């Protein structure tokens, strides 16, 4: 089983994400330093164009390797508390912290990732100064 579009569904931080190789993903904050490599071994589903393997609950031997790109702040969430008839109003805001991960490799027994073949570029012929 080999293909260029291998995908995996992973679980981290209580949420599930569908990832491809080379993708960048924001997940709940992990305590890892920027540039550090992390292995995500809770792989629930792995597949390509032709085959799909579903784990029970995880796919045995499958793992996703990712590199941390640092911690980023999410959009600001406004929290507004209000009680009628007692003049109580309270407005606060919150930025959630996320860890940005770059997916490097998806590994599983029986699945091999092939790099897409790039076509060779044509070399343009240089024109002479006379225009021919």
The verdict on residue 42 lying in a domain is yes
The verdict on residue 30 lying in a domain is yes
In the chain, % of residues over pLDDT 70: 86
115/41: higher pLDDT = 41
Q: For residue 1, is pLDDT > 50?
A: no
Instruction: For residue 9, list its beta bridge partners.
Output: 18, 45
The verdict on residue 119 lying in a domain is no
The verdict on residue 43 lying in a domain is yes
Tokens of 83: 């009680």
Number of domains in the chain: 1
CA distances, 100 to each of 36, 91, 107 (Å): 11, 29, 20
Q: For residue 4, is pLDDT > 70?
A: no
The verdict on residue 124 lying in a domain is no
- How do residues 45-103 score in pLDDT, each as one tens digit? 998 888 888 988 898 889 999 999 999 999 999 999 999 999 999 999 999 999 999 99
The verdict on residue 128 lying in a domain is no
The verdict on residue 120 lying in a domain is no
Give residues with Cβ within 8 angstroms of 106, minimum separation 6.
6, 7, 8, 19, 20, 21, 46, 62, 64, 65, 113
Q: Is residue 44 a contact partner of residue 57, using CB atoms and an 8 Å limit? A: yes
- Give mean pLDDT, residues 26-45: 94
What range does the domain containing 14 cover?
2-113
Q: Is residue 38 a contact partner of residue 32, using CB atoms and an 8 Å limit? A: yes
- Torsion sign, CA atoms 58, 59, 63, 68: negative
The verdict on residue 88 lying in a domain is yes
């Amino acid at each position: 089983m080999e293909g260029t579009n291998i995908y995996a569904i992973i679980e981290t931080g209580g949420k599930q994400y569908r990832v491809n190789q080379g993708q960048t993903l924001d997940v709940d904050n992990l305590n890892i330093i920027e540039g550090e490599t992390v292995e995500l071994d809770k792989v629930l589903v792995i597949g390509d164009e032709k085959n799909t393997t579903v784990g029970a609950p995880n796919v045995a031997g499958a793992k996703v390797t990712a590199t941390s790109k640092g911690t980023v702040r999410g959009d600001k969430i406004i929290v507004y508390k209000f009680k009628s008839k007692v003049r109580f109003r309270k407005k606060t805001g919150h930025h959630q912290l996320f860890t940005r991960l770059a997916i490097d490799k998806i590994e599983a027994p029986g699945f091999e990732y092939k790099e897409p073949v790039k076509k060779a570029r044509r070399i343009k012929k240089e024109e002479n100064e006379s225009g021919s």
